[in-house]
C-alpha cells in the first residue's frame, strides 16, 4: 500500500474523530467505562485471590504427640512430612513452647494459671503444625502421618491424635473448601457478565457513531472506493477512541487505588491495590491501552461490515 494512501486513511480517521465531537465524547466515555471495568476486574481478581489464600493459610493439620514421646522421633516424622510434595510447611511446637503459648494466652485468667501451677508438671503435648499446598490434600497428609507412626517397628506409637480426624474439624474444613470454591466461581461469573455487558454497550455506541456517516460511506462506495479504504478510517477512529479512553482510565486508577489502598491492605489479605498498581503499571498500560485500541478497531470493523452492508 502506498504511503500517500496510508496518510489519507489516518487523516480521514483523525478528521472524523475531531469532527463529531459529541459522538466522540460519548464513545470515549462508554469505552472508558469498558476499560475501567476491565481494570476493576483485574483488581478484583487479585483481591479475591489474596483473600482466598488468606483463608487457605488459616487451615492446617495438627499432629499431637504423647507427653513421653522422644523429641528425635518427632523430628524424624517432621522431616518425612516436609519431604512430601503436597506439604507447604511443618512447624514443630515443643512442650515448652506450647506451655509458654498457653500462659501467654491465659495471662489474664489467674484461676487457669493457678490450676496449671498446682499440677506441678507440664501437661501439654508437643505437636507438628502442618500446612498443605491445597485444602484437599489434608486427608492424604493425615493418613501419611498416621502411617509413619504405625511403621515404627518394635517401638510404641508416639502420636496421640491428629486434628484432621476430629469431626468438627473436618466439617469446618469442608465448609472452608466450599466457601473458597463458591467464591471463585461467583467471582468468575460476575467478571464475565460485567465485561460482556460493557463490551456490548461499547460496540453499540461505536456502531451509532459509524451510522451517522452512512451517507459518506455510500458516496465513497459509488465513486469506487474499496472496502478496506472505507473501513480503515473508521478503524483508526475507533482506535483513537480506545487510546483516549485508555489514558483516561489509567489516570482515574491512580487516585482511586491510592484512596482504597489502605482499606484493601487491612481487609483483603494484605494486598494494597495502590502498591500493586504502581508495581505493575507497565503491565496495566499494555493491558488497558491494548484492550482499548483492539476493541475500538474490531468494533468499528464489524460495525461497518455488518450494519452498513459494505
Predicted confidence (pLDDT) at residue 250 exceeds the cutoff of 90: yes
Same domain (yes/no): 122, 196: no
Q: Is residue 168 part of a domain?
A: no
Q: Is 194 found in the same domain as 269?
A: yes
Q: Which domain holds residue 278?
A: 3-55+177-307
Q: What is the pTM of this model?
A: 0.62
- Say if CB 245 and CB 31 are below 8 A apart: yes
Q: Where are the alpha helices (DSSP H) in the chain?
A: 3-19, 21-57, 71-82, 95-105, 110-119, 138-150, 167-211, 214-222, 227-267, 273-279, 281-307
50 and 184 fall within a common domain: yes
Does 60 fall in a domain? no
What pLDDT sits at residue 282?
A: 93
CA distance 17 to 33: 19
Answer yes or no: are the C-beta atoms of 72 and 288 closer than 8 Å.
no
Q: Are residues 204 and 262 in the same domain?
A: yes
- Domain match, 193 and 298 both: yes
Per-residue pLDDT reduced to its tens digit, 12-63: 555 665 665 666 677 788 888 888 888 887 887 777 777 666 666 667 788 8
Total number of domains in the chain:
2
If asked whether residues 43 and 74 sit together in one domain, one would say: no
* Structure confidence by residue, pLDDT tens digits, 260-273: 877 777 665 567 88
Same domain, 190 and 301: yes
Residue with cell 463529531: 20
Among residues 127, 157, 187, the one where a domain terminates is 157
Do 269 and 210 belong to one domain? Answer: yes
- CA-wise closest residue to 14 among 294, 239, 300: 239
Provide the grid cell at 208: 451509532
Amino acid at each position: 500500500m502506498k504511503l500517500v494512501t496510508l496518510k489519507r486513511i489516518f487523516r480521514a480517521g483523525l478528521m472524523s474523530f475531531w469532527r463529531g465531537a459529541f459522538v466522540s465524547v460519548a464513545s470515549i466515555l462508554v469505552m472508558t467505562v469498558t476499560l475501567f471495568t476491565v481494570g476493576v476486574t483485574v483488581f478484583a481478581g487479585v483481591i479475591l485471590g489474596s483473600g482466598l489464600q488468606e483463608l487457605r493459610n488459616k487451615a492446617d493439620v495438627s499432629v499431637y504427640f504423647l507427653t513421653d514421646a522422644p523429641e528425635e522421633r518427632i523430628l524424624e516424622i517432621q522431616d518425612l512430612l516436609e519431604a512430601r510434595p503436597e506439604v507447604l510447611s511443618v512447624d514443630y511446637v515443643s512442650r515448652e513452647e506450647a506451655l509458654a503459648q498457653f500462659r501467654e494466652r491465659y495471662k489474664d485468667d489467674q484461676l487457669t494459671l493457678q490450676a496449671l501451677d498446682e499440677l506441678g508438671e507440664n501437661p501439654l503435648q508437643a505437636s507438628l503444625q502442618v500446612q498443605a499446598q491445597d485444602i484437599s490434600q489434608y486427608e492424604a497428609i493425615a493418613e501419611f502421618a498416621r502411617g509413619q507412626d504405625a511403621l515404627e517397628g518394635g517401638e510404641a506409637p508416639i502420636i496421640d491424635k491428629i486434628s484432621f480426624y476430629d469431626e468438627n474439624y473436618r466439617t469446618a474444613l469442608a465448609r472452608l473448601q466450599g466457601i473458597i470454591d463458591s467464591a471463585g466461581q461467583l467471582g468468575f461469573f460476575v467478571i464475565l457478565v460485567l465485561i460482556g455487558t460493557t463490551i456490548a454497550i461499547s460496540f453499540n455506541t461505536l456502531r451509532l457513531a459509524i451510522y451517522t456517516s452512512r451517507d459518506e460511506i455510500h458516496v465513497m462506495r459509488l465513486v469506487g472506493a474499496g472496502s478496506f479504504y472505507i473501513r480503515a478510517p473508521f478503524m483508526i477512529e475507533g482506535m483513537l477512541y480506545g487510546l483516549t479512553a485508555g489514558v483516561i482510565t489509567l489516570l482515574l486508577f491512580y487516585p482511586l487505588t491510592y484512596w482504597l489502598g489502605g482499606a484493601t491492605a487491612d481487609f483483603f489479605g494484605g494486598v494494597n491495590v495502590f502498591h500493586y498498581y504502581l508495581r505493575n503499571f507497565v503491565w496495566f498500560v499494555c493491558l488497558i491501552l491494548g484492550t482499548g485500541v483492539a476493541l475500538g478497531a474490531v468494533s468499528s470493523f464489524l460495525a461497518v461490515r455488518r450494519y452498513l452492508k459494505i
